[in-house]
Amino acid sequence: MSDPLNAFVPEDTVNIEGAPGGPLSGLRFAVKDIFDVAGHVTGGGNPDWAATHGPAETTAPVVSSLLEAGATLIGKTNTDELTRGLLGVNSHFGTPVNPAAPERVPGGSSSGSAAAVAGKLVDFALGSDTGGSVRIPASFCGIYGIRPTHGRIALQGLIEQAPSYDTIGWFANDADIFAKVGGVLFGAESGEQKPARLVIAEDVYEIASAPVLKAHEKALEALRSLAVESESLSLCPTDLADWQKAMHTLQQWEANRSFGDWIDATNPRFGYDVAQRFVSAAAMSEEEMKAAEPVRQSHRERMAEVLTPGTVIVLPSAPGPAPLKGLKKSEMWNMRWGITALTCIAGGAGLPQVTLPLCHLDGLPVGISLIGCKDSDEDLLALARQVAGRV
Amino acid sequence: MSDPLNAFVPEDTVNIEGAPGGPLSGLRFAVKDIFDVAGHVTGGGNPDWAATHGPAETTAPVVSSLLEAGATLIGKTNTDELTRGLLGVNSHFGTPVNPAAPERVPGGSSSGSAAAVAGKLVDFALGSDTGGSVRIPASFCGIYGIRPTHGRIALQGLIEQAPSYDTIGWFANDADIFAKVGGVLFGAESGEQKPARLVIAEDVYEIASAPVLKAHEKALEALRSLAVESESLSLCPTDLADWQKAMHTLQQWEANRSFGDWIDATNPRFGYDVAQRFVSAAAMSEEEMKAAEPVRQSHRERMAEVLTPGTVIVLPSAPGPAPLKGLKKSEMWNMRWGITALTCIAGGAGLPQVTLPLCHLDGLPVGISLIGCKDSDEDLLALARQVAGRV
């Protein structure tokens, strides 16, 4: 397979026809190389992970569901190492091309899945989202992306990073296909439905770059026109950085639990920034971890308070468009920190979020996001379809 | 060139005939791949270092001196990444074979040079020693190795790690060749000469494994018989760990100064343990660094006090024989810490040390070392020749 976008895992050819006659029949998809496909090594974006793991014995249930629904799997896609990254930079396998902005990074960690969708090599693609790994590449590449309600799609047959944050999500170019995949994975599609209340997240727009709000104006207008009522408010009563730090702490703690023993046994090669994060994860104390728990709890309570039934929150998916390639390590670090201030909002509270490719800034995609109540995933997908026709 | 020991840098053929008629005429040597050889990339044991540096324009003066003295350069050798390691494990290029103990690591960072000498692929080989990188592989592979007086051979045309500790050293199988190279690089050889006083380093033998002292007994006897007088004493009036920590701190500080900007610009791939050390180096505070300086100063003063003219200190080169391959990362860390308690003694004080391949423990080499006064390098080489005939 020719791979001009460096979207696919090299030297491994996966091609499995979908079952005939399903709802996804005729669609082609790819999966991030953290999902098991029987007979293939799940590489996780790290050569030493691949070298220390044999071929998967069974296929991940989420992949099987899509195949049974008729979609054809055409490949596995590149990822940031062990899903540890938000920019799509992989020191071993290179950075997939962002088809919407070839000078810029595609975002990560589900970088290859986003590139394959944005480049129209597939109709949809599976990714995972722990701290933004679907929402950020979707925003940077100008495509649809969803981080479902935490626990809505069971974590099985994939490399887990931080299980209390890990979710399985996907990308599509088209709001109909985007929703159709949800129909298969959630078991139901939602019909057209007005959100009772639209909440514009004031504090989040304040930390995104000012031109982002301007770029979102038309889409915001379309969303307002679809809602019964709308208002602006600040999500976090203290400082978004509090929620962000709590997520960072707990995610690091869990990532160390997921990978620490393997790292000790293998002494693997990592890009320096990835190693650096694992070093800091390993250094985290149980006290720090325990101090973060009540912050996550109050974060969840506050979000439940804002999200009365039928409420949808609107916020920017990322602080701005995709950054240029060739960032220094220290710049990558700052960039990542800027991003998780936004992605922690749904991530820390386990809420569903979709990002819509409706807005541009200087010709570059800047995603606009919707966060809904727990388990309102189908409603968000339905709303995405409605707005798509209005912007 | 066939390379059964994985001693040599792959895909780069260096072959330069020595000048005719010199004192090293007829000898073949190799150099650690941190020394510049005009027209070749100095790889430093890291693929991203190699990728971000062009071919060297000039040859390192120390290499030129050896070529002018008649030795023929036949290759560049593998090294721990950027000289950061003591075991000879390189996550990118593999671990050179220890010809004296093929199940065990060769020691590092001058791993390939030691393997090439011990495997008799060359007559001698250049390495570098910052915190033990010649002495340890020499001890583990059962060959001669020298860390010269700091500053005795100018640091020019090589990758520097921690300049106030870095030295250029070499390996040989044979005490005569070992001394001959010194004759060229120091400008003079020393004649036969009795040490006025032999000091057995009691505190160092206490922290080496007990059987090491037993394995050294015959060599100690031979050394005693060559000296005018001998005694046992403790080198460090407090705890060797104090000297060790000070060296660790200052070396880390300098290593960060040497490589920090490059790491930030490149975000290179590293084996995890190497990355971990750079992370901790970057986190070091100026206060820690400044607090270590007076400890190094008192270390130097104590060593000068012990090393009255004609004194030679005897100590084990390493805490024990080479460890088995396949260590966990955490075991590597402990192993390294055990080693630098010994190597810091000459290293922190800038003193010359030679390690002699005269002793074995269960068939495995355990080097015995001599530390001399500042600039007594030639005398140590001469003493090494004398003892060689007596064990």
Domain extent at residue A219? 197-240+289-388
Q: Identify the domain boundary among A186, A208, A230.
A: A186
Whether chain A has a CB inside 8 Å of the CB on B284: the answer is: no
Task: Please answer whether residues B189 and B183 qualify as being in contact, where contact means their C-beta atoms are separated by less than 8 angstroms.
Answer: yes
The whole-angstrom separation of Cα B207 and Cα B338 is 9
Which of A91, A269, A333 would best serve as a mutation to test chain B binding (most B beta carbons within 10 A)? A269
Is there a domain that residue A265 lies in? Answer: no
| A278, pLDDT greater than 80 | yes
Do A233 and A142 share a structural domain? no
Do B222 and B75 share a structural domain? no
Tokens coding A86: 């938000």
Do B212 and B138 share a structural domain? no
Is there a domain that residue B5 lies in? Answer: no
Tokens coding A103: 């000078």
Is A268–B264 a contact, with Cβ atoms under 8 angstroms apart? Answer: no
Residue among B382, B39, B56, B359 at smallest CA distance from B221: B359
The whole-angstrom separation of Cα B145 and Cα B138 is 5
**Distances in whole angstroms, Cα of residue B246 to Cα of each of A53, A119, B351:** 41, 55, 16
Is there a domain that residue A258 lies in? Answer: no
Interface of B with A in 326-345 (CB under 8 A): 328-330, 332
pLDDT value at position B1?
66
What is the separation of C-alpha A191 from the centre of its chain, rounded to a whole number of angstroms? 24
Is there a domain that residue A8 lies in? Answer: no
pLDDT class of A1 with cuts at 50, 70, 90: low
Do A108 and A135 share a structural domain? yes
pLDDT, averaged across chain A: 96
Whether chain B has a CB inside 8 Å of the CB on A196: the answer is: no
Active site residue B218: no
Of the candidate ranges A127-136, A214-223, B186-195, B272-281, the one whose mean pLDDT is the lowest: B186-195
Is there a domain that residue B351 lies in? Answer: yes
Give the 3-state secondary structure of residue A370: strand
Do B49 and B165 share a structural domain? yes
Which of A272, A279, A331 would best serve as a mutation to test chain B binding (most B beta carbons within 10 A)? A272
Task: Please answer whether residues A12 and A2 qualify as being in contact, where contact means their C-beta atoms are separated by less than 8 angstroms.
Answer: no
What tens digit of pLDDT does each residue of A30-61 get?
A: 999 999 999 999 999 999 999 999 999 999 99
Q: How far is A274 from chain B (nearest CA, A)?
A: 9
Residue of chain B minimizing CA distance to A327? B265
To the nearest whole percent, how much of chain A has pLDDT over 90? 93
Whether chain B has a CB inside 8 Å of the CB on A243: the answer is: no
Of the candidate ranges A186-190, A204-208, A361-365, the one whose mean pLDDT is the lowest: A186-190
The whole-angstrom separation of Cα B106 and Cα B95 is 8
Q: How far is A327 from chain B (nearest CA, A)?
A: 8
Is B272–A272 a contact, with Cβ atoms under 8 angstroms apart? Answer: no
The tally of domains found in chain B comes to 2
| A188, pLDDT greater than 90 | no
Do A203 and A302 share a structural domain? yes
Q: Identify the domain boundary among B146, B167, B186.
A: B186
- Catalytic site positions of A: 32, 109, 133
Task: Please answer whether residues B345 and B201 qualify as being in contact, where contact means their C-beta atoms are separated by less than 8 angstroms.
Answer: yes
Is A267–B91 a contact, with Cβ atoms under 8 angstroms apart? Answer: yes
Residue identified by tokens 């950061």 is B84
The whole-angstrom separation of Cα B236 and Cα B358 is 26
Q: What is the 3-state secondary structure (H, E, C) of B134-169?
A: CHHHHHHHCCEEEECCCCCCCCCCECCCCCCCCEEE
The whole-angstrom separation of Cα B233 and Cα B236 is 9
Residues of A in Cβ contact (< 8 Å) with B264: 328-330
Do B227 and B146 share a structural domain? no
User: What CATH number corresponds to the domain at position A332?
Assistant: 3.90.1300.10
Whether chain B has a CB inside 8 Å of the CB on A271: the answer is: yes
| A102, pLDDT greater than 80 | yes
The beta strands (E) that lie in A37-180 are given as 72-77, 124-129, 144-147, 167-172
Residues of B in Cβ contact (< 8 Å) with A270: 269-270, 272, 275
Do A176 and A76 share a structural domain? yes
Which of A48, A90, A267 would best serve as a mutation to test chain B binding (most B beta carbons within 10 A)? A267
Whether chain A has a CB inside 8 Å of the CB on B92: the answer is: yes
Whether chain A has a CB inside 8 Å of the CB on B223: the answer is: no
Is B275–A270 a contact, with Cβ atoms under 8 angstroms apart? Answer: yes
Task: Please answer whether residues A253 and A289 qualify as being in contact, where contact means their C-beta atoms are separated by less than 8 angstroms.
Answer: yes
pLDDT value at position B219?
97
Q: Is A325 exposed, middle or buried (0-12, 13-18, 19+ CB in 10 A)?
A: middle
Which residue among B48, B91, B279 sits closest to A279, beta carbon to beta carbon? B279
Question: How does strand A167-172 pair with strand A144-147?
Answer: antiparallel
pLDDT class of A389 with cuts at 50, 70, 90: confident
Q: How far is A90 from chain B (nearest CA, A)?
A: 10
Do B139 and B55 share a structural domain? yes
Is there a domain that residue B107 lies in? Answer: yes
Is B263–A329 a contact, with Cβ atoms under 8 angstroms apart? Answer: yes
pLDDT in tens, chain B (391 residues): 689 999 999 877 899 999 999 999 999 999 999 999 999 999 999 999 999 999 999 999 999 999 999 999 999 999 999 999 999 999 999 999 999 999 999 999 999 999 999 999 999 999 999 999 999 999 999 999 999 999 999 999 999 999 999 999 999 999 999 999 999 999 987 777 788 899 999 999 998 888 999 999 999 999 999 999 999 999 999 999 999 999 999 999 999 999 999 999 999 999 999 999 999 999 999 999 999 999 999 999 999 999 999 999 999 999 999 999 999 998 988 999 999 999 999 999 999 999 999 999 999 999 999 999 999 999 999 999 999 988 8
Of the candidate ranges A1-10, A104-113, B76-85, B184-193, the one whose mean pLDDT is the lowest: B184-193
Residue of chain A minimizing CA distance to B89? A267
Is A276–B273 a contact, with Cβ atoms under 8 angstroms apart? Answer: no
Instruction: Give the number of other Cβ atoms within 10 Å of residue B379's Cβ.
Output: 20
Interface size between A and B, measured as CB pairs under 8 A? 72
Q: How far is A51 from chain B (nearest CA, A)?
A: 12
The whole-angstrom separation of Cα B38 and Cα A186 is 64
Tokens coding B275: 């990355």
For the full predicted model, state whether its pTM sits above 0.80: yes
Residues of B in Cβ contact (< 8 Å) with A48: 91
pLDDT value at position B119?
98
Do B203 and B84 share a structural domain? no
pLDDT class of A190 with cuts at 50, 70, 90: confident
CA-based end-to-end distance of chain A: 36
Is there a domain that residue B12 lies in? Answer: no
Active site residue B376: no
Do B128 and B39 share a structural domain? yes
Residues of B in Cβ contact (< 8 Å) with A272: 263, 266-270, 275, 278
The beta strands (E) that lie in chain B are given as 28-32, 72-77, 124-129, 144-147, 167-172, 197-201, 229-233, 269-271, 311-316, 353-356, 360-361, 364-365, 368-371
Which of B48, B267, B276, B279 would best serve as a mutation to test chain A binding (most A beta carbons within 10 A)? B267
Residue among A140, A225, A204 at smallest CA distance from A341: A204
Q: Identify the domain boundary among B186, B208, B224.
A: B186
Tokens coding B105: 């690591």
The whole-angstrom separation of Cα A68 and Cα A84 is 30
Interface of B with A in 102-121 (CB under 8 A): none
Do B201 and B152 share a structural domain? no
Residues A377-382, mean pLDDT to the nearest whole number: 96
Active site residue B133: yes
Tokens coding A154: 């069971």
Tokens coding A239: 């400082």
pLDDT value at position A212?
95
Whether chain B has a CB inside 8 Å of the CB on A92: the answer is: yes
Query: Which residues are CB-neighbours of A135 under 8 A, at least 6 positions away?
Result: A129, A145, A147, A169, A317, A318, A343, A353, A355, A367, A369
Is there a domain that residue B315 lies in? Answer: yes
